[in-house]
Structures are given as structure tokens and as C-alpha cells.
Amino acid sequence: MITDFCGKTAFITGGGSGIGLGMARAFGRAGMNIVVADIDKKAASAAVDQLAAQQVKAAPVYCDVSERGSVREAALEAIAAFGKVHVLCNNAGVAVGGQLGTVGARDWDWILDVNLKGVVHGTETFLPLIKSHSEGGHIISTASMAGMISPPGLEPYSATKFAVVAMSEGWFFQLAPLNIGVSVLCPGFVRTRIHESGRVRQDRYGGEGEVGTGVAADRESAAQQVLSGIDPDIVGERVLEAVKAGELYIFTHPNMKPLAEQRFQMILAAFDRAADSQALKAVKEWAAAPLLGPQG
Ligand SMILES: NC(=O)c1ccc[n+]([C@@H]2O[C@H](COP(=O)([O-])OP(=O)(O)OC[C@H]3O[C@@H](n4cnc5c(N)ncnc54)[C@H](O)[C@@H]3O)[C@@H](O)[C@H]2O)c1
């Protein structure tokens, strides 16, 4: 974990827009150097210009998180610019949804490669670099409330976000002894360009174009949900606050707590049914079985 942010460096994937840019501004205000890593070079440069106008030291780097090699090259550029990286924000993400059977194979590959493997590529690339300077660090991965609950029609997105929550929960305990904090950001709707994710879809996944929206009845109402969300700058400040406090789960929409409660209650009720199950009555092994809990 780090407590003093001033003069340290944050590498933010998807830093050219939305939540990534909100975190860049918040960390920049805290005195950090910012590496804006994005597949959209123009957006990354524009973000760096904005940050520089606020006296934040920042550098743009091209980075496609779906490619391990691209993340590695971007990391080398970050080290060349600022010497060390202390905070990694695995934030780049895209949204794909649709009724079962309507999401194309290439869109499945795209969302898995960016939202899930992108987080693996970022963490596995930066962990040795953060460990090597022994000054501590923090890894923040952007999941979603869709990593806590699964709205029907948004399964490709939710599948990746549940995975990001799961990895972060494990990494939190794995990395604590190394003085590296881990947080997972789970926002509700935030006013960004996520509903226009198709603008940065790589050619190998079908190229630039419209993408299925999932939950909302049509594209316009999906856009409306996002555009009625909260300001990404507020999300950035909330992340900074939570990272300072070493929080694992970072929520930005406390009004959504009942949705998580509903899901957990369904799960707990299913355990109670298992406890009363006739089929399981004969099992004797429970008492001796070790429980593999969150702390191992
Ligand atoms: N906006 C919301 O309501 C909301 C809610 C919960 C979670 N999220 C998550 O927040 C994160 C940021 O999204 P946002 O809402 O700011 O959207 P956004 O579209 O405004 O920003 C996403 C950024 O990621 C970049 N990007 C996309 N693919 C990339 C790739 N392969 N490699 C590197 N960069 C890439 C884009 O160029 C863009 O700059 C995502 O992980 C998203 O799933 C968003």
C-alpha cells in the first residue's frame, strides 16, 4: 500500500476517457505523475494536454490491453518517462450485451480479451515492476456493479466483471504481505462513452461499429442510462479516498446496495435448502473438510 502519493506514478489504462480520465485527474491533483495508456492515441494525447494545463506531469502511451506485448511495451515507455510505477489502474473496458444467442463469437472474444485478459496482462506485467522498487504500490481494477449482480441481457459484460472481482479478491490477500494494495472498483452508471465502445473495436474483432447493448430496449435508452450517470471526476475522488484507506471493494452507488443484498439472500437461502436436503443427509465429511476461505 502507499500512503504518500506525491511524486509517485500511476499507469491508467483507458485513461483517455471517462472513469480513467476521472482517476487521472484525481491522482494528478494528489501530486502523482500520470501515464495515460489508451488504444485511442488522440484521446490519450488530449487527456495529457488537459492534465498538463492543470500542472500535472503526464505522458500518453499507446496500449492495447488485449495484447500482452502491447502492455509490456507501454510499461517500458512508462518507466522511461517516470522511472517507476506505483499505482496500476486496470481500467480499460468495453461493453457488449444482447439476448442469449445474439452475441457474435468475435464480440465474445473482444470483451473477454479486453475486460478480463486485459486485467491479467496489466497485473502480471506491472507486479514485478512494482515489487522491484520496494516502495509499495496499489492495483485498482475497474469492474462494475455488473460484477456483483447479473442483469439479464448483459451476460458477456457481467461475466468479465465477475471475473475481475474474483481475481481482485484473491490478489488482495496474495499481495498484502508485499505491501501492495488491491482494490476493485464497482460503479453503477457513470457519465462516459462506454455506450460507444464500438468506436475502439480492433479490426480483428470486427472493427469500428455498433455493438449490442444488452440491458436497455434500444441503443438510445442504453445511452440515456449511461448519460444520466454520475460524474467521472467524482468517481476518481472516491477511488483516491478508498485507495488511501486500503479498501478492497470500492462502491460509488450506495443506493444499489439492495441489489447486492437480494443476490446474497438468494445464495444464503440456497445454502439453507442444502442444509435441509434429504439427499445430503448421509454425508459425514463436512466436519473434517478444511474450509478454503477468502484468506486461504
Ligand atoms: N460508464 C459506466 O457506467 C461504467 C459503470 C461500471 C463500470 N464501468 C467500467 O469503467 C471502465 C472505463 O469505462 P468508461 O465508462 O470510462 O468508458 P469510456 O468508453 O469513456 O472509456 C474507456 C476507455 O478505454 C479505452 N479502451 C477501450 N479498449 C481498449 C483497449 N483494448 N486497450 C486500451 N484502452 C482501451 C477507450 O479508448 C476509452 O478511452 C470500463 O472498464 C467499464 O467497463 C463503466
Task: Catalogue the active-site residues.
Answer: 157
**Considering the domain 9-262 in this protein, what is its CATH number?**
3.40.50.720
Q: What is the pTM of this model?
A: 0.97
| E strand or H helix that includes residue 251 | strand 249-251
pLDDT at 133 over 80: yes
Q: What is the pLDDT of residue 219?
A: 74
Of 21-35, 200-214, 230-244, the one with minimum mean pLDDT is 200-214
139-158 confidence digits (pLDDT tens): 999 999 999 999 999 999 99
Residue 20 has pLDDT above 80, yes or no: yes
Residue 6 pLDDT exceeds 70 = yes
pLDDT over threshold 90, residue 130: yes
What is the C-alpha separation between 148 and 130, in angstroms, rounded?
29
- Res. 199 pLDDT band, cuts 50 70 90: very high
Distance from Cα 135 to the centre of ligand 1, integer Å: 29
- Ligand 1, pocket-test mutation among 112, 141, 142, most atoms within 8 A of CB: 142
Smallest CA separation from ligand 1 atom 41, residue: 93
Identify the residue whose C-alpha is closest to ligand 1 atom 32.
64
Looking at the CA of residue 193, tell me the nearest atom of ligand 1. Answer: 20
* 35-67 confidence digits (pLDDT tens): 999 999 999 999 999 999 999 999 999 999 999
State residue 216's pLDDT score. 62
C-alpha–C-alpha distance, residues 158 and 116, integer Å: 11
* Protein residue closest via CA to atom 16 of ligand 1: 18
Closest of 278, 13, 231 to residue 119, by C-alpha: 13
Report the separation in Å between the CA atom of 176 and the middle of ligand 1, taken as the mean of its atom positions.
27
Residue of 19, 45, 77, 230 best suited for mutating to test ligand 1, as the one with most atoms within 8 Å of CB? 19
**Nearest ligand 1 atom to alpha carbon 157:** 43
Q: Supply angle C-alpha 182, 59, 31, rounded to 5.
A: 60
The atom number, within ligand 1, closest to the CA of 95 reads 43
Average pLDDT in the chain: 95
What local confidence, expressed as pLDDT, does residue 134 receive?
A: 94
Considering only CA atoms, which residue is closest to atom 1 of ligand 1?
Answer: 190
CA 94 – ligand 1 centroid, Å? 5
pLDDT in tens, 69-119: 999 999 999 999 999 999 999 999 999 999 999 999 999 999 999 999 999
pLDDT confidence bin for 208, thresholds 50/70/90? very high
* pLDDT score of 253: 98
pLDDT score at 218? 67
Identify each DSSP E strand in 105-230 by its residue range: 137-142, 180-186
Q: Which residues line ligand 1 (CB under 6 A)?
A: 13-14, 16-20, 38-40, 43, 63-66, 91-94, 114, 142, 144, 187, 189-190, 192-194, 197, 200, 226, 229
Task: Give the integer Cα–Cα distance in Å for 1 and 244.
Answer: 8
Q: 52 with 101: CB under 8 angstroms?
A: no
- How many H helices and E strands in the chain? 9, 7
For ligand 1, atom 24, which residue shows the shortest CA distance?
Answer: 14
Look up residue 16 and give its amino acid: G
* Residue of 13, 17, 221 to mutate, ligand 1, most atoms within 8 A of C-beta: 17
Q: Is the distance from CB of 168 to CB of 184 less than 8 angstroms?
A: yes
Which atom of ligand 1 sits closest to the CA of residue 19?
16
The predicted pLDDT at position 294 comes to 72
* Residue 215 confidence (pLDDT) above 70: no
pLDDT band at 296 (very low <50, low <70, confident <90, very high): low
Q: How confident is the model over 168-192, as a mean pLDDT? A: 98
Q: pLDDT tens across 265-295, in order?
A: 999 999 999 999 999 999 988 777 777 777 7
The DSSP call for residue 58 is E
